[in-house]
A and B are shown apart, each in its own frame.
Chain A
Amino acid sequence: MGGAPVNGIDPAGRWLTPDTILDIGFIAYNIYALATGGRKALGIKLSALGADIGGLLIPGVTGLGTASRVAREGKKLLPFVPRLAQGNLKMGLEHIVHRHWHSSGFAHVSKFGAEVGVKELRGIIHAAATRGAGWRVEGASRVIESNVGRIIRTDPAGHATSWVSVVINQAGEVITAYPIPLR
């Protein structure tokens, strides 16, 4: 619009710009999705349609509907996975190695098997976060318990188990993780 996109004047008459064409395509797709997809994710589809109409009205802006859809569906698509930092003797990897590694000397403490290295531990934590029933709030901590589908070694009584507990802080950092009795 003659370098002044907000004044509503289009002296050159080039209103059918590439972004406008894309917006019309997105709007058509959203209408199709609404017409054929039933009530499933109705709110997400309506938001995406509204965002694409907004994008059509704003020169130079496109893809707002897709951005809206990703923002609203993203929470469902991407499971939260806690961060395992090096830490110290009281939290993180260093704590887990100190207290729950196969080589740890503590009695009546659950331990990971000798086959569990740091890479495997990260995989166990990832599996717990994605397969667990949900995070439980316990005071300053969040806890998830999960069956990771393979023996990771022993609970505090020395029985083999495939269950793990992962404890994180409010920032999503791992405080500790350890095998627990079968549920």
Chain B
Amino acid sequence: MLLEFQVDEAVLAADREVDPRTADAAALQETYFLMPTRLQVHQDELFAVPPKDHRKNASPWLELPILHVATVGLQKVQDICKQSQSTYTLPGSGWRLRFQASGQDILIHSEVNGRQSCVHYTELLAAFEHFASTVKEVLGRKVPELQEHPYWGKWLKEK
């Protein structure tokens, strides 16, 4: 499976115009660093929004705040262990990813397009952990002042 994002330099530049060091922690999580994000499980593109014109192909990329996916998204995947199910509500749209465990297999249902796909829990967890570490690396390098933020600075420095 694949969970990845594209770095949008224009978005980064615009977001840095309002000093991230003093920005609201919740705003940084919800409305900053909106990047095209893709979730592919066994060739199923779970973030592909169906186009209104059915003759066009759907883009697999959905714009999401990457700090949200890296933290809240990862937490929701970790919650599957405790409750055997979990729901991750995508910020900005209200579409949900529903995770349902059956042993070590996790059925993922996407409300973005109604598709569902199954993946082993360790693979799902590894994909979200890798996404989180990539977000830390990219933001730590491209937005170094974020390391001085009282809330997100600590998260960026966590291993």
Instruction: Select one of B15, B23, B94 contacting A178, CB under 8 A.
Output: B94
CB distance from A132 to the nearest CB of B (A): 13
Q: Which of A156, A168, A173 contacts B94 (CB 8 A)?
A: A156
CB-CB under 8 A from B31, the residues of chain A are 90-91, 95, 99, 175-176
- Report the bound CA distance from A138 to B90 in whole Å: 11
CA distance in complex: A180, B111 (Å): 12
Which of B1-9, B67-75, B97-105, B118-126 is found at the contact surface with chain A? B67-75
Taking a contact as CB atoms under 8 Å apart, the answer to whether A145 and B94 are in contact is: yes
| Cβ < 8 Å to B, chain A residues 119-169 | 138-143, 145, 155-158, 163, 165, 167-169
The digit string for B27-39, where 1 denotes a CB below 8 A from any CB of A, is 1111110000000
CB < 8 Å A-B pair total: 89
Residue A41 is within 8 A (CB to CB) of chain B in the complex:
no
Q: A139-B72, A156-B93, A163-B94 are in contact. Are A88 and B151 (CB under 8 A)?
A: no
Contact assessment for B49 and A156 in the assembled complex, using a CB-CB cutoff below 8 Å: yes
Q: A108-B62, A143-B89, A156-B49 are in contact. Are A169 and B27 (CB under 8 A)?
A: yes
Contact A90 B49 (CB under 8 A): no
How many chain-B residues does the 8 Å CB contact rule pick out? 29
On whether the beta carbons of A180 and B62 are closer than 8 Å, the reply is no
**Which residues of chain B have C-beta atoms less than 8 A from A108's C-beta?**
49, 62-63, 93
Are B26 and A180 within 8 A (Cβ)? no
Give the residues in chain B near A110, CB-CB below 8 Å: 92-94
A11-24 CB mask vs B (1 if < 8 Å, else 0) is 00000000000000
- Would you give the 0/1 interface string for A70-88, flagging 1 where the beta carbon is closer than 8 Å to chain B? 0000000000000000001
- A181, B25: Cβ atoms under 8 Å? no
Which residues of B does A touch, CB under 8 Å? 15, 18, 23-32, 49-50, 52, 62-63, 68, 71-72, 75, 89, 91-95, 111, 151
Could you name 9 residue pairs across A and B whose Cβ atoms are closer than 8 Å? A90-B23, A91-B30, A139-B29, A155-B93, A167-B26, A175-B27, A176-B31, A176-B92, A180-B94
Please give the residue numbers on chain A whose beta carbons come within 8 Å of chain B beta carbons, in ascending order: 88-91, 95, 99, 108-110, 138-143, 145, 155-158, 163, 165, 167-170, 173, 175-176, 178-181
Knowing that A95-B31, A165-B94, A175-B30 touch, tell me 20 more A-B residue pairs with CB under 8 angstroms: A90-B24, A90-B32, A91-B30, A95-B27, A99-B92, A109-B93, A138-B68, A139-B29, A140-B25, A140-B151, A156-B92, A156-B94, A165-B89, A167-B91, A169-B24, A169-B25, A169-B27, A175-B26, A175-B27, A176-B92
